């Protein structure tokens, strides 16, 4: 599972190189293919070609629904992305197919006892679920989050990898040497972190492997200085989008 690529070509290529080296054949994407970064065409095309399933993220949706509720630098990045991706009269067939693919991404999909979303099970596109959210300790929110989950729901959106269990226990990758076993006695919300813009103070790209009932949290180094230089060449992309890549914030 990969998520929150955010038009970061260098991070995505590095992650796919590692996935291929490990012989993993099925890749699923949990949204926010675009936004923030400088290479929306490349990332959308590679995700579309390589991922068996992709769900809609809030930045993907903002291309079509508007980004008025975004902060200024995220809103400008959507304007930049839309200018790059929206087909014009001279657009190629691939340009049009890419745009239609982004427009029609589903909000969710299921595979056996697993649910895949971008945000949360109760708001698949927009809800943030942070591991340090004090409301998770209260029964109503926790019950609502897991109401539609059989064994596990996988998400992104916060850019912070973790596992939240239905008994309100929170696990980070460091708690168990980056491995976690899905226990059928509980339900689980698994955040796979971000490929293109991690925010857990680790600049390496984050992704998750599922092997049977075992999760493996991976971190992949990539040349973020190249991505930073590309962002800084684009007037519509704010400096913060470059600076945060080296800090993981």
List the domains of the chain with CATH numbers. 9-246 (3.60.21.10)
Residue that wins the pLDDT comparison between 123 and 140: 123
Q: Is the pLDDT of residue 137 over 90?
A: no
- Mean pLDDT confidence for 62-86: 98
pLDDT attached to residue 135: 77
Q: Is the pLDDT of residue 47 over 90?
A: yes
pTM: 0.96
Pairwise CA distance, residues 210 & 153, whole Å: 12
> Per mean pLDDT, which range of 30-39, 80-89, 100-109, 139-148 is the poorest?
139-148
- Mean pLDDT confidence for 72-101: 97
For residues 217 and 6, the answer to whether their CB atoms sit within 8 Å is no
Mean pLDDT for the chain overall: 96
């Amino acid at each position: 599972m990969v998520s929150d690529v955010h038009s970061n070509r260098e991070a995505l290529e590095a992650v796919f190189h590692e996935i291929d080296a490990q012989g993993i054949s099925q890749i699923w994407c949990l949204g926010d293919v675009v936004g923030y970064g400088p290479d929306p065409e490349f990332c959308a095309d590679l995700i579309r070609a390589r991922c068996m399933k992709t769900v809609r993220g809030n930045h993907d949706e903002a291309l079509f629904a508007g980004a008025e509720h975004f902060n200024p630098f995220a809103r400008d990045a959507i304007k930049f992305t839309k200018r790059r991706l929206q087909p014009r009269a001279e657009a190629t067939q691939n340009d049009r197919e890419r745009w239609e693919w982004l427009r029609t991404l589903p909000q969710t999909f299921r595979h056996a006892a697993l649910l895949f979303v971008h945000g949360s099970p109760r708001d698949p596109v927009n809800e943030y679920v942070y591991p340090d959210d004090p409301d998770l300790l209260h029964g109503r929110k926790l019950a609502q989050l897991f109401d539609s989950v059989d064994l596990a729901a996988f998400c992104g959106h916060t850019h912070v990898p973790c596992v939240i269990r239905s008994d309100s226990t929170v696990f980070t990758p460091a708690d168990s040497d980056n491995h976690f076993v899905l226990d059928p006695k509980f339900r689980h919300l698994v955040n796979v972190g971000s490929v293109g813009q991690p925010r857990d103070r680790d600049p390496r790209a984050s992704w998750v492997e599922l092997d049977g009932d075992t999760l493996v949290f991976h971190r992949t180094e990539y040349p973020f200085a190249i991505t930073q230089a590309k962002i800084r060449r684009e007037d519509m992309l704010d400096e913060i989008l470059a600076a945060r890549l080296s800090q993981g914030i």
